[in-house]
Amino acid sequence: MNSILLRGVISEEARYSHESHGVRYFSLTISTVRLSGTRDISKVLISESALHMFSPGVGERVEIEGALRSFNNKSGQGSRLVLSTLAKVIRPSQESSENRVSVQGVVCKTPIYRRTPLGREICDLMIAVPRAYGRADYLPVITWGICARMSAELDVGDSVSVEGRFQSRSYVKNVGEESVEKTAYEISAIHISKLPQSEETSKEAPLSAEADAADAFPPPPKEEEQTEDAVFAL
């Protein structure tokens, strides 16, 4: 399972991105608003045929249904793991902002448990979400509080179900003697559960070296960036 629902405002118009298997894709960005008022900016990939059905302009409110995708950037510039939403449906909408993600996958890197400067518990996960032809999308997940404590006990190869939002946040990374502002993209988990393990599910998502190509997990978010209570279920 890999699904995302974004409802918000177009912040950057569609521009040509690339062609794959004879299909031309365009890239646009959408801004969604959390209950706290914080905005998340998400990159969306959409096919040319879908744009012909509805091509929104900057400032228009839309609803997008799709799936999260990861791309291993080997150019040497920018993030090594690029995340975006592959839109299946885009339509006009006047409803309130929404940002909801549901994925199932396999833990493919050892969880990293840590505390924020004020002592809040967080845990970073990387999960491989299977898709067709033996491929997988590698998605970073951040969990909080008791959910973080339980997530830290997960092992590589464990199958999990995650619900939350797809968030963006800025942080500063020291590169040599310079400080560079970067943007992290991740799933902020509201609910995470460990799924029953079986031989079939353990083989669904390959534990590929592509996961190791991802950037090291960024510094912890600011204290105010987590407002929902997270839940861990066995």
Over residues 182-206, the mean pLDDT reads 76
Question: Is the pLDDT confidence value at 208 over 60?
Answer: no
Q: Is 96 helix (H, G, I), strand (E, B) or coil?
A: coil
**Confidence at 145, pLDDT banded by 50, 70, 90:** very high
Residues 103-123 pLDDT 10s: 999 999 999 999 988 889 999
Does residue 213 carry a pLDDT above 50? no
Question: d(Cα 136, Cα 133) in Å, to the nearest integer?
Answer: 9
Q: How far is CA 76 from CA 23, 49, 79, 215, in A?
A: 26, 32, 8, 12
Of 52, 47, 40, 48, the residue nearest 11 (C-alpha): 40
Instruction: Please tell me whether residue 199 adopts helix, strand or coil conformation.
Output: helix
* 14-50: b (≥16 Cβ within 10 Å) or e: beeeeeeeeeebbbbbbbbbbeeeeebbbbbbbbeeb
pLDDT for residue 76: 58
Which has more pLDDT, 110 or 213?
110
CA-wise closest residue to 110 among 160, 156, 174: 156
pTM of the complete model = 0.84
Portion of the chain with pLDDT greater than 90, in percent: 65
Closest by CA position to 140, among listed 130, 129, 149: 129
**3-class state of residue 17 by DSSP:** strand
Backbone φ/ψ region at 59: left (φ over 0), alpha (ψ -120 to 50), beta: left
Distance (Å, whole) CA 140 – CA 152: 14
Amino acid at 100: R
Q: What is the pLDDT of residue 220?
A: 64
Query: Which token pair is 113?
Result: 């448990």
Domains of the chain and CATH, by start: 2-97 (2.40.50.140), 102-233 (2.40.50.140)
Closest listed residue to residue 154, CA positions, set 97, 108, 199: 108
Strand partners, 90: 64
